[in-house]
Amino acid sequence: MDLLFGLLTGVLFGFLLQRGQVLRYDVQLGALRLKDMTIVKFMLSHIMVAMVGIYLLNDLGLVKLSLKATVVGANALGGLIFGLGWGLVGYCPGTSLGAVGEGRLDALAAIAGMLVGAGIFARAYDGLLPTVYTWGNYGKITLAGVLGINHWLVIAILIVAFAAILRFIERKGL
């Protein structure tokens, strides 16, 4: 049942990526050049909805949050590799699958590269644990936990801030 739910939510996410036009190469390139904010708008909107939904489900006891440790070294290195890959092929994991769904077979090369990268990571993981995974390891933290305030207050502040960013982007026509 979990696999079916995962498949259905993945198809829905792909549909939303396609409808939001974030699968297009020119939109991807525009995002990398900070000229087209379609992806930023899509992601900020998604984050706003998701953080309310996830914390509401958590507070109702329908899901349990499973936090990962905040490790600055691993996040920085992973972000650099992710950004380099996105810049080289013009796809991130979600958009590459959506592009294949649209019939753009060039995304298959990107997916193959991601799988090779995942394999390399799996082989290197044990060597990364005593090094990169110790650089700036803050453990399992949340912004609300660090600030010592209720998570709904953080969510409200972030929604106001993200809405202001979205409004700014729209007014600038980006």
3-state secondary structure 124-138: HHHHHCCCHHHCCEE
Write out pLDDT tens, residues 79-99.
Answer: 999 999 988 888 888 888 888
For the chain, how many structural domains are there in total? 1
Whether the full predicted model's pTM is greater than 0.85, yes or no, is: no
For residue 32, the model assigns a pLDDT of 87
Query: Residue 132 — very low, low, confident or very high, per pLDDT cuts 50/70/90?
Result: very high
Spatial distance between the Cα atoms of 67 and 55, rounded to a whole number of angstroms: 13
Write out pLDDT tens, residues 68-82.
Answer: 999 999 999 999 999
CA atoms within 13 A on the CB side of 61: 0
User: What is the full DSSP assignment across 98-110?
Assistant: HHHHTT-THHHHH
Angle at 141 between CA 139 and CA 142, to 5 degrees: 165
Can you give the residue range of the structural domain that contains 136?
A: 1-172
